[in-house]
Structure 1
C-alpha cells in the first residue's frame, strides 16, 4: 500500500518510516536485553508492514501543528509514534498464538511463535508492551504531556484487548448482528488507530474540539479499515495478503460481507470514507494528508 500521503505537504513518508524504525531499533539495542529476546522484539517490531499507526500519529500532529517539512520529528512525537507501533506489534504477536488465532503466516513471513517458539512469542509480546510505556516516559520531557500520552496509550491498549475478548470470548449480553460487529472493531481494530490520532493531537497541543475531530476521524477510519480487511479476506489470497485468508468465514465469525453482502460492504467503505472526510472539516487544509490517508486505506489491496 502506498502511504505517501504528504505530496510536499508534511514529512515525506519514507523519512517518517526511517525515523520510526531507527528509534525502535536503537531503543531495543540500548536496553541490554538477552540477545534472543532482542532479536524477537526486532523481528516483530521491524517486520514488513504499512506503519499505519505511527503515520496516523504524525499526520494528526501535522493537522494541528502544521507540516513537518525539515529536520527530524520532535522527540515526544517520535516516542508516541514508536510506542503505539510497539503496542500494535505486541497485539499481533499474541493474536497469532495457537491459543488465539493460531496463524502461521504474518506479513509474508512465519509468525513469531513459528520463527522461535511459543514461550518466546509470549515473552516478546510482553516485552513490546512494557517497552512502549518505558520509551514514552523516558523520551517525553514535559510531565503533563507525558502523563497524557501514557493515559492515551493505556486506554488504547485496554480497549484493543477488550475488542479481542468481544471477538474471541464473547458473553451472551444480547448484542448481536451489526451492533456486535461494530463493537468488536471499534475496539479490536479501532482502539489503536483512535489512540494514534489522539496522541498525535496531544503532542501538537490540540484543543478539545481538535481532539474530538481527530477522534471521530480515527473511529471512522478504523471501521473502514476493518470492512476493507473483511472484503480482502474473501477476495484475495494468502500470497497477496501475506497471511492466511478466509479464516473468519471458516470459523463462523461475523464479518461485514457476511452481514451486508459484498456489494453492501463495498458501499459501506465508500460511506465511511466520506464520513472520515467530513470529520476533518474543522481542521481545514492542514488535514489534507489525513484525507489522503483515508482514501489510500479505502482502496488498499493488502
Structure 2
C-alpha cells in the first residue's frame, strides 16, 4: 500500500471516530459543539496518520483501540492550534479556511475548548493503550520541555534583535514548537507495537528529521502560497518580526535545508518497510 492509499483509507476512519465520540463523550452540547468546530474543520490528520503508519511499518494490526489513540493525538494537536491562534499568541483570524475558535465563539470559550481537547486527548490515549509509557511520551513532548516550551521561545524571540540571526536558536525553537509532537507520534507507535531497538532507533531518527523539516515547510508556505491556498493568513512572519529559519536563511537556502532533511529522513528508513512513512515527505513538493 502506498501513502496516498493509506491516507485515503484511514483519514475517514479517524474523522468518523472524532465526530462520533466528541458528541458521545461530552455532556454539555455547547461545549461539544465548540470543541468539534475546530477538530472537524479539516486538516491533513498528519499526526494521527503518522502513528498509524508507524504501526503499519511494524506490521501491527490497526483496530478501534489504535484509532482511539490516533484520535487522541489529533485532539492534542487541535488544542495547540486553538491556543496558538489566540490574540495573546499569533492572533490569527482564520485556520483551515474558516474563522478561528476565538473569532467564532469568543476568547474564553476558545481557551476552555483547547484545555478540554488536551485533557480529553490524553484520556483517549490512556484508554486506548492502557500504557503509562505512551502517556509519558506524549506529555513530555507537548509540555514545557517540548511544544509549550517552543511556543514560549517563539513569542519571546519575536521582534527580539538578540536572536535575529541566531540559527541555532531558531533550530531549537522550531524543533520544540513543531518537531516534538511529530516525534511523539512515531515514538508512541514504536512503543505500542513493541519495536526492537534497531527499528525504534531508525524510526525515531526519521521522525526527528521529519519533525524538524515540517516547520521549515510550514514557514515556506507563509511566503509561497496565498491565504486561500494555505487556509490561513500568509506573508505574516517577516512583517511581525518573527525570527525563524526562513527569515534568517531566506527562501532558497531554506528550501535547500528542507531538501537535505528529506534525504536524511529517507536514509533513516532504510531496512524498514517504510514506504508509507516515506510518502509523508511528498507533502513538501508544493514548496520546493
Same fold (TM over 0.5): yes
Q: How many residues in Structure 1 have an aligned counterpart in Structure 2?
A: 281
1:38 is matched with which residue: 16, 32, 41? 32
Superimposed CA distance per residue, residues 54-108 of structure 1 (whole angstroms, 9 cap, x where no aligned partner): 1111111111226x6xxxx223321221111111000000000001111000010
Aligned-partner SS, 2:274: helix
Distance in 2 of aligned mates of 1:241 and 1:204:
34
In the alignment, structure 1 residue 155 sits paired with structure 2 residue 155: no
Aligned-pair Cα RMSD in Å = 2.0
Structure 2 unaligned residues grouped into runs of 5+: none
Counterpart of 1:169 in structure 2 is 156
Q: Which has the higher contact order (CA 8 A, sep 6+)?
A: 1
Look up the match of 2:236: 247
State yes or no: 1:299 paired with 2:281: no
2:171–2:245 CA contact under 8 A, matched in 1 = no
| Distance in 2 of aligned mates of 1:194 and 1:258 | 25
Q: Does 1:213 align with 2:231?
A: no
Q: Work out whether residues 53 and 193 of structure 1, in 8 Å CA contact, stay in contact via their aligned partners in 2.
A: yes
- Quick one: distance in 2 between partners of 1:194 and 1:281? 18
The answer on whether the counterparts of 1:221 and 1:276 sit within 8 Å (CA) in structure 2 is yes
Kept after mapping to 1: 8 A contact 2:157/2:243 = no
SS of 1:243 mapped into structure 2: coil
Moved over 6 A (4+): none
Shift of 1:26: 2.3
Matched residues in 1 for 2:126 and 2:243: separation? 38
Name structure 1 gaps, 5 residues minimum: none
Deviation at 1:6, TM superposition (A): 5.0
Query: Contact (CA 8 Å) 1:104, 1:114: kept in 2 or not?
Result: yes
Rate the CA distance shift 1:51–1:63 in 2: closer, same or farther, 3 A.
Answer: same
Structure 2 CA distance for aligned equivalents of residues 37 and 278 of structure 1: 45
